[in-house]
Amino acid sequence: MADDYLLGVILAILGGVVNQMGAVFQKKVVNEIPKEQRDEKFMRTLIKSPLWITGLIFIMVLSAIFLLSSQAIIGGALGPGLAASGMIVLVLGSVFILGERINKIELIGIISIMVGILFIGLSELSIEGSLNYFLDINFTLKISIFTLILFILWMGCRWAGKKYEKGKTLFLAFSAGLPFALGNLWLQSFTLALVAVFGGTADLLAIIIFIVSMIMVTPTSFAGIYFIQEAFAHGDASKIMPLQQIPQQLVPVLLYFVVYLNAPPTIFSVYFMIIGIALILLSGFLLAERQARFEAIE
């Protein structure tokens, strides 16, 4: 049992490390493209790079395999916090591979979000998966409204990132994180419906949820990757990757309380959740402020 738990911990950490290493690879390729050529069509240049494709495989395939395997062994509560340790690799890669400079304030911001994610994990806000939730019209209405709000925020951040020079990277980083948050909103339902459909036990409800959730999960994953590259074209990976994590970490907390109307498992869960949210918001403030200063200098 102890050996299995250790394996789960190692897999979660590897999932985070591989994910952040993939981001460093992709940012390196973006840096090699002259700024004047980083337009709407520069993705065509990126997908021709073997290093960028390697980064994509690291993020979309290897990281997913490690994290899903870890969750199967130790559950989903500790996984995100352990995977957040991969940001250490992000810091090292940003400095030694990408040549970025990270000062004390930025380092505090990165450490804050790492610890914040760990505390969110320790709060054990776990949602029991079931497709029967959708039989409740109120639940279906709430998750639909929640989805619409996230989509509007996503489009709003993208519009602001395109329109305004001040705060451009912050808005683009959020517009890269929100599609992943939107996809994660439907990921559990998609997984349950997928098992039912291919297991031959799906009823009409499962088929409908499978189609809807697939439409939500698949395009948002690719959109998130695209928008991260767009953000990379304007800012440092050491700031963008933590910033795009903020909506991904806060949305599940809102989902737990607002949509599923669940109560905290223990009183300690409330304390851990509050500390985690505070640290994540502190990280966002520190990194956004530093990026704003950098943009002002440019």
154 and 84 co-located in one domain: no
What digits encode the pLDDT tens for the residues 199-241? 888 899 999 999 999 999 889 988 998 899 988 988 888 888 8
How is residue 36 written in tokens? Answer: 């004047």
Residue 16 located in a structural domain: yes
- pLDDT for position 29: 92
Residue 121 located in a structural domain: no
> Where a domain ends, among 100, 119, 150?
100
Q: Rounded to whole angstroms, how far apart are CA atoms 8 and 76?
A: 11
- pLDDT for position 58: 94
- pLDDT for position 78: 61
CA 286 to chain centre: 19
> Where a domain ends, among 100, 120, 145?
100
Q: Rounded to whole angstroms, how far apart are CA atoms 292 and 286?
A: 10
Residue 155 located in a structural domain: yes
267 and 153 co-located in one domain: yes
Percent of the chain predicted with pLDDT > 70: 92
163 and 284 co-located in one domain: yes
What digits encode the pLDDT tens for the residues 86-137? 888 888 999 899 988 888 888 899 899 889 888 888 887 777 778 999 999 9
91 and 160 co-located in one domain: no
- pLDDT for position 294: 63
164 and 230 co-located in one domain: yes
135 and 91 co-located in one domain: no
156 and 297 co-located in one domain: yes
Q: What is the extent of the structural domain holding 70?
A: 1-100
More confident residue, 162 or 293: 162
- pLDDT for position 214: 92
What digits encode the pLDDT tens for the residues 42-96? 888 898 899 999 999 999 899 888 887 887 676 555 667 678 888 888 889 998 9
DSSP letters for the chain: -HHHHHHHHHHHHHHHHHHHHHHHHHHHHHHTS-GGG-STTTHHHHTT-HHHHHHHHIIIIIHHHHHHHHHHHH-SSSHHHHHGGGHHHHHHHHHHTS-----HHHHHHHHHHHHHHHHHHHTT-PPPP-GGGGGSHHHHHHHHHHHHHHHHHHHHHHHHHHH-STTHHHHHHHHHHHHHHHHHHHHHHHHHHHHHHHTT---HHHHHHHHHHHHHHHHHHHHHHHHHHHHHTTS-HHHHHHHHHHHHHHHHHHIIIIIS-PPPSSHHHHHHHHHHHHHHHHHHHHHHHHHHHHHHH-
